[in-house]
């Protein structure tokens, strides 16, 4: 049951990414809903949800939209353009 919900949450996040260019407000709502579902189920957070969430302001990050993605010293850094927070992602070899 939990794995199915986690898959649904990952699908919602990718849907939010698709919607971002045309409807940023709706995309933010979809993303927030997916975040709330993941919290309510108390299952392991999908990787895509961890990647696309700002750890400081909990907003939705999309490369080229609400975030700037750079490679610095072997790790990927997502700069949130809303709060200027750095979200470091360890690079997997
Ligand atoms: Zn932020």
**Could you report the per-residue pLDDT of 27-36, keeping only the tens digit for each?**
999 999 988 9
Number of structural domains (the chain) is: 1
Range of the domain at 22: 2-89
Query: For residue 93, is pLDDT > 60?
Result: no
Q: How far is CA 33 from the centre of its chain?
A: 12
Distance 1 CA to ligand 1 centre (A): 31
pTM over 0.75: yes
Distance 48 CA to ligand 1 centre (A): 16
Compute the distance between CA of residue 32 and CA of residue 18 in angstroms, rounded to an integer: 15
Distance 92 CA to ligand 1 centre (A): 23
Distance 85 CA to ligand 1 centre (A): 5
Q: At what angle do helices 24-41 and 2-19 cross, to 10 degrees?
A: 170
Helix intervals (H) in the chain: 2-19, 24-41, 47-51
Counting Cα atoms < 13 Å in the Cβ hemisphere of 23 gives: 9
Distance 58 CA to ligand 1 centre (A): 6
């Amino acid at each position: 049951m939990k794995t199915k919900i986690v898959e649904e949450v990952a699908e919602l996040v990718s849907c939010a990414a698709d919607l971002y260019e045309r409807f940023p407000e709706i995309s933010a709502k979809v993303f927030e809903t997916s975040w709330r579902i993941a919290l309510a189920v108390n299952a392991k957070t999908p990787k895509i949800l961890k990647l696309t969430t700002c750890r400081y302001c909990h907003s939705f990050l999309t490369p080229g939209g609400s975030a700037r993605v750079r490679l610095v010293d072997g790790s990927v850094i997502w700069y949130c353009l809303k709060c200027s927070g750095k979200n470091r992602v360890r690079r997997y070899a």
